[in-house]
Amino acid sequence: MHRAAEIIIVGAGFAGLSAAIYLGRAQRDVLVIDAGKSMARWEPKVQNYLGFPAGISGKRLLERARAQAHQYRVRFKHDYITAAAIRNHQFTLRGNSASYSCHVLLLATGIFHVPPDIPGIKACLGHSIFFCKDCDAVRVRGKRVAVYGWTNETAEYALAMMAYTSQLIIVTDGRRPSWSRQHALWLKRREIFVATQPISTLRRSGSKLKALLLEDGKEVLINAIFTTRGDIVFSGLATELGARLDAEGQIVTDQCLRTSVPGLYASGCVTTANCQMIIAAGQGAAAAQAINRDLLMDTLKLKT
């Protein structure tokens, strides 16, 4: 089966849905293709999204945004896009269940925060194992917190976490720290302890972490882990289309979210922007406005 649309958005997370709402309202013909794996599904209580003082689950926010897009005749298709090509200003996409073509393509495919490599952590994700200081550090004020990692970023994360708690430890899970001498000095001066032993397992009660068990038999009592293990950036389609990426594989855009390939836009965590729901939504809106404006200018130029 083949489906065509004026604009295709790949990804229905915050960036894709926000763009879809704007473009639907702009009377554009929009098809959103999504594999249903938004990272937001893991957040039980979003506390930093504007307008929800009591918090709201990431899943519920996504459902509400999708319902909002449906009001403007945006079409949705559940599929995973495996390949993309461009020819004569026309994009073609191959999915697991269909093929697609469009004049304008917006990639809002997001990233995947790699969780710590500890058996049994799944139940704790989003509850006591966190990926984002700005989203979740305020929840663990005064509690026992471990920062998982071994890089400069890990050291900086731990140093920043001191604003929330003094009961801090870095766990490298058997890796040798690779942070700089300057970072080592900062950690030493602030007396942040570093445990380099491998972690064999964890102790938890439901979704609440209780302790990490190290390979040498020691137990580290903790209430939460913040991980800095890195991300997988879903920018493979952009690579196939020849778009510029940065050293971390994130899609490089201008302020209007245009990539280096004409007609190809990107927004949300797959770009170089800070990975936050509200930023992804804002970028989706900005991309949609640019797309709508650029399409109008194309039409006007054709007619003169």
Ligand X SMILES: Cc1cc2nc3c(=O)[nH]c(=O)nc-3n(C[C@H](O)[C@H](O)[C@H](O)COP(=O)(O)OP(=O)(O)OC[C@H]3O[C@@H](n4cnc5c(N)ncnc54)[C@H](O)[C@@H]3O)c2cc1C
For binding to ligand X (CB under 6 A), which residues are involved?
10-16, 33-40, 42-43, 46, 48, 80-81, 108-110, 113, 125-126, 131-132, 135, 234, 268-269, 275-278, 280
The DSSP letter of residue 250 is: P
Smallest distance, Å, CB 186 to ligand X? 27
Taking CB positions, which residue lies at the least distance from ligand X? 13
Nearer to ligand X, 1 or 300 (CB): 1
Nearer to ligand X, 29 or 240 (CB): 240
Smallest distance, Å, CB 90 to ligand X? 19
Q: Give 212's Cβ-side CA count (13 Å radius).
A: 30
Q: How far apart are CA 126 and CA 228, in angstroms?
A: 14
Smallest distance, Å, CB 218 to ligand X? 28
Sheet containing 219-221: which strands, arranged edge to edge? Answer: 199-205, 208-214, 219-221
Burial of 237 (0-12, 13-18, 19+ CB in 10 A): buried
Residue type, 240: E
Nearer to ligand X, 108 or 158 (CB): 108
List the structure tokens of 88: 């004569």
Smallest distance, Å, CB 276 to ligand X? 4
Smallest distance, Å, CB 216 to ligand X? 30
Nearer to ligand X, 214 or 224 (CB): 224
Nearer to ligand X, 35 or 211 (CB): 35
Smallest distance, Å, CB 289 to ligand X? 17
3 state DSSP class of 211: strand
Burial state string for 161-200 with b = 16 or more CB within 10 A and e = fewer than 16: beebbeebbbbbbeeebebeeebeebbeeeebebbebebe
Nearer to ligand X, 135 or 220 (CB): 135
Strand boundaries in 57-127, DSSP class E? 75-78, 81-87, 90-95, 99-107, 111-113
